[in-house]
């Protein structure tokens, strides 16, 4: 069935809507496979389609969605009715920042589409990964793989016409065993984005073999390792821990809707205030962070956001000073009005919805930390007096305003007098966000920089799970509270 989406949008603006857009998902597919000790324990396949209509009328949003293409006009009408009903209750009218009227197409790079492969081939690959870690002493082996494929058409009343085709693949292996004290220890591998694409061709067997051997070696050392020492010392975070540190204490803290208080009922707020932009010393001079939605191989890149704004690369923190946020068209206008000055010069293109039946909200794109000039991992270790090198996020607890945090990691190595020593287990560290980033004393170069993905970031009411990325280098922080 062909629907004239632009005609429906015109119908609403003819009835007085200030703005309207529609996102039509002809098909969104997701496969989730889970193998436990060599047995395929779960295979979930979901397939959805539908469209969501967002209307701005009398200063308020209205939204309606349906998976039924036979009642399209009714759904558009309902969105307008919802906006008019909401308009009776608003305290301030919503205004959208200006944008260019765009027409465009985005396709995530993918050479081999996993959905075009027989399911048996994907299961065989998982079996192969399982066999790589099936060794004596390993008590639990988990191999997970989810694949996503979706097409989205977007139209709005300002003339945008956008088509997006997105592929992604999220594989991982986990190994676990009981240590000599009867505590479970675990190592895992979630591959960073190594090549320029996002398809099945990224599943390089030789690469997995090397990584499987590495995590097996780590696990066997963990089982015999002493506990992590406690006290104040340096922590060196590998990218597979640094990405989560950045996610929780830069990414979520700098979502503009949180800063304005919109997420308080669910995901929480932010310690950042509007008056902080342009002057808050967020970290040491070595800290440069950005929201970069133009990284070609990451799930945080999507071409155009759900405001119809083109993907951008924007600085968040420059030389340690807070300069930007993760923004949408609505929130930048509200923030500028509330601050009484122009903090933001337009949307940063970070307004996204996880599905056709959810409203778009501020979401992280790729929240990255730039590589620095403190050399390789070995260079940083060589200049560290006393500390721990930490890898693999294990648990996390974050203040609802992101002002403080506590993380545990899968593994650590002692570092003393510039030397990497033995493995230590049950590692944890904690701190206050600003004190922590201000203690950033070394940032690794490009050789240490990796793009890690997050496939399960939760936010919004009703809840939305989103995929994104973090390009981060190895980083060292000093005088950090370690242990407990
Ligand atoms: Zn998150």
Closest C-alpha among 48, 29, 305 to residue 168: 29
**Spacing, Cα 467 to ligand 1 middle (Å):** 9
Q: How confident is the model at residue 239 (pLDDT cuts 50, 70, 90)?
A: very high
Q: What is the pLDDT of residue 10?
A: 98
pLDDT higher than threshold 80 for residue 484: no
**Spacing, Cα 120 to ligand 1 middle (Å):** 33
How large is the angle between the packed helices 205-224 and 119-132, nearest 10 degrees?
40
**Spacing, Cα 459 to ligand 1 middle (Å):** 7
pLDDT higher than threshold 90 for residue 135: yes
pLDDT, one tens digit per residue, over 86-133 is 999 999 999 999 998 889 999 999 999 999 999 999 999 999 999 999
Closest C-alpha among 223, 136, 139 to residue 181: 223
Peptide linkage before 464 cis (omega within 30 of 0): no
Q: What is the mean pLDDT of the chain?
A: 96
**Spacing, Cα 397 to ligand 1 middle (Å):** 12
**Spacing, Cα 457 to ligand 1 middle (Å):** 4
Q: Is 373 exposed, middle or buried (0-12, 13-18, 19+ CB in 10 A)?
A: exposed
Does the pTM exceed 0.85?
Answer: yes
What's the rounded Cα separation, in Å, for the pair 438 and 428? Answer: 19
> What does each C-alpha distance from 197 to 74, 114, 168, 412 come to in angstroms?
40, 13, 9, 31
**Spacing, Cα 402 to ligand 1 middle (Å):** 11
Q: What is the pLDDT of residue 93?
A: 97
What is the share, in percent, of the chain residues with pLDDT greater than 90? 95
pLDDT higher than threshold 80 for residue 435: yes
**Spacing, Cα 455 to ligand 1 middle (Å):** 9
- CA torsion angle for 383, 388, 390, 396 (degrees, to 10)? -130
**Spacing, Cα 317 to ligand 1 middle (Å):** 19
Q: What is the pLDDT of residue 266?
A: 82
Tokens 């079996």 correspond to: 127
Q: What is the pLDDT of residue 453?
A: 94
Q: What is the pLDDT of residue 101?
A: 83
Q: How confident is the model at residue 193 (pLDDT cuts 50, 70, 90)?
A: confident
User: CB–CB of 245/394 below 8 Å?
Assistant: no
Q: What is the pLDDT of residue 195?
A: 85
pLDDT higher than threshold 80 for residue 1: no
Contacts of 355 (CB under 8 A, 6+ apart): 25, 28, 48, 52, 464
Neighbours of 159 (CB within 10 A): 12
pLDDT higher than threshold 80 for residue 261: yes
pLDDT, one tens digit per residue, over 285-327 is 999 999 999 998 999 999 999 999 999 999 999 999 999 999 9
φ/ψ of residue 109, rounded to 5 = -65, 125
**Spacing, Cα 246 to ligand 1 middle (Å):** 10
> What does each C-alpha distance from 386 to 231, 234, 376 come to in angstroms?
11, 6, 18
What's the rounded Cα separation, in Å, for the pair 228 and 427? Answer: 5
Q: What is the pLDDT of residue 296?
A: 87
pLDDT, one tens digit per residue, over 332-382 is 999 999 999 999 999 999 999 999 999 999 999 999 999 999 999 999 999
Q: How confident is the model at residue 269 (pLDDT cuts 50, 70, 90)?
A: very high
What's the rounded Cα separation, in Å, for the pair 84 and 61? Answer: 8
Per-residue tokens: 480: 């950090």
Q: What is the pLDDT of residue 218?
A: 98
Neighbours of 276 (CB within 10 A): 17
pLDDT higher than threshold 80 for residue 61: yes
What's the rounded Cα separation, in Å, for the pair 25 and 33? Answer: 23
Per-residue tokens: 226: 């002493």
User: CB–CB of 225/421 below 8 Å?
Assistant: no
**Spacing, Cα 354 to ligand 1 middle (Å):** 13
Tokens 């119908």 correspond to: 11
**Spacing, Cα 349 to ligand 1 middle (Å):** 18
CA 439 to chain centroid, in Å, comes to: 24
As beta bridge partners, residue 234 has 387
Closest C-alpha among 122, 128, 166 to residue 145: 122
Per-residue tokens: 357: 């039946």
**Spacing, Cα 331 to ligand 1 middle (Å):** 19
**Spacing, Cα 369 to ligand 1 middle (Å):** 16
Q: Identify the DSSP state of 245.
A: H
> What does each C-alpha distance from 469 to 174, 415, 436 come to in angstroms?
20, 29, 22
**Spacing, Cα 363 to ligand 1 middle (Å):** 9
Q: How confident is the model at residue 194 (pLDDT cuts 50, 70, 90)?
A: confident
**Spacing, Cα 267 to ligand 1 middle (Å):** 9
Q: What is the pLDDT of residue 102?
A: 86
φ/ψ of residue 336, rounded to 5 = -60, -40
């Amino acid at each position: 069935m062909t629907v004239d989406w632009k005609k429906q949008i015109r119908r609403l603006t003819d009835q007085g809507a200030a703005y309207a857009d529609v996102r039509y998902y002809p098909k969104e597919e997701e496969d989730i496979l889970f193998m436990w000790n060599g047995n395929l324990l779960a295979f979930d396949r979901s397939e959805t389609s539908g469209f969501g209509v967002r209307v701005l009328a009398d200063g308020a949003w209205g939204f309606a969605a349906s998976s039924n293409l036979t009642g399209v006009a009714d759904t558009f009408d309902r969105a307008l009715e919802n906006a008019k009903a909401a308009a009776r209750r608003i305290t301030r009218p919503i205004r959208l920042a200006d944008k260019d009227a765009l027409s465009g197409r985005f396709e995530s790079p993918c050479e081999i589409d996993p959905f075009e492969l027989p399911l048996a081939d994907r299961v065989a690959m998982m079996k192969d990964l399982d066999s790589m870690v099936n060794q004596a002493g390993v008590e639990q082996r988990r191999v997970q793989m989810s694949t996503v494929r979706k097409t989205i058409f977007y139209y709005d009343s300002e003339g945008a016409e956008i088509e997006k085709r997105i592929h992604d693949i999220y594989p991982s292996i986990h190994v676990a065993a009981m240590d000599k004290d009867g505590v479970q220890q675990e190592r895992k591998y979630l591959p960073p984005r190594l090549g320029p694409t996002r398809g099945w061709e990224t599943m390089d067997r030789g690469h997995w073999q090397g990584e499987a051997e590495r995590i097996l070696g780590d696990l066997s050392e963990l089982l015999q390792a002493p506990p992590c020492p406690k006290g104040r010392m340096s922590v060196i975070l590998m990218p597979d821990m640094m990405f989560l540190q950045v996610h929780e204490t830069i990414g979520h803290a700098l979502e503009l809707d949180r800063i304005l208080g919109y997420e308080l009922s669910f995901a929480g707020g932010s310690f950042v205030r509007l008056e902080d932009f342009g002057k808050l010393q967020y970290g040491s001079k070595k800290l440069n962070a950005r929201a970069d939605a133009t990284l070609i191989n990451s799930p945080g890149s999507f071409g155009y956001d759900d405001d119809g704004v083109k993907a951008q690369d924007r600085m968040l923190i420059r030389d340690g000073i807070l300069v930007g946020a993760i923004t949408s068209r609505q929130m930048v206008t509200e923030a500028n009005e509330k601050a009484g000055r122009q903090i933001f010069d337009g949307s940063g293109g970070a307004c996204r919805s996880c599905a056709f039946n959810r409203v778009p909200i501020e979401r992280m794109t790729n929240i990255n930390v730039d590589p620095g000039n403190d050399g390789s991992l070995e260079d940083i270790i060589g200049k560290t007096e006393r500390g721990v090198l930490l890898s693999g996020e294990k648990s996390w607890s974050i203040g609802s305003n992101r002002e403080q945090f506590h993380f545990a990691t899968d593994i650590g190595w002692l570092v003393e007098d510039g030397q990497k020593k033995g493995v230590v287990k049950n590692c944890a560290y904690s701190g206050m966000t600003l004190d922590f980033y201000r203690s950033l004393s070394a940032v690794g170069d490009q050789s240490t920089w990796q793009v890690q993905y997050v496939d399960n970031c939760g936010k919004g009411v009703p809840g939305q799970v989103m995929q994104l990325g973090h390009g981060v280098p190895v980083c060292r922080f000093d005088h950090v509270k370690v242990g407990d």
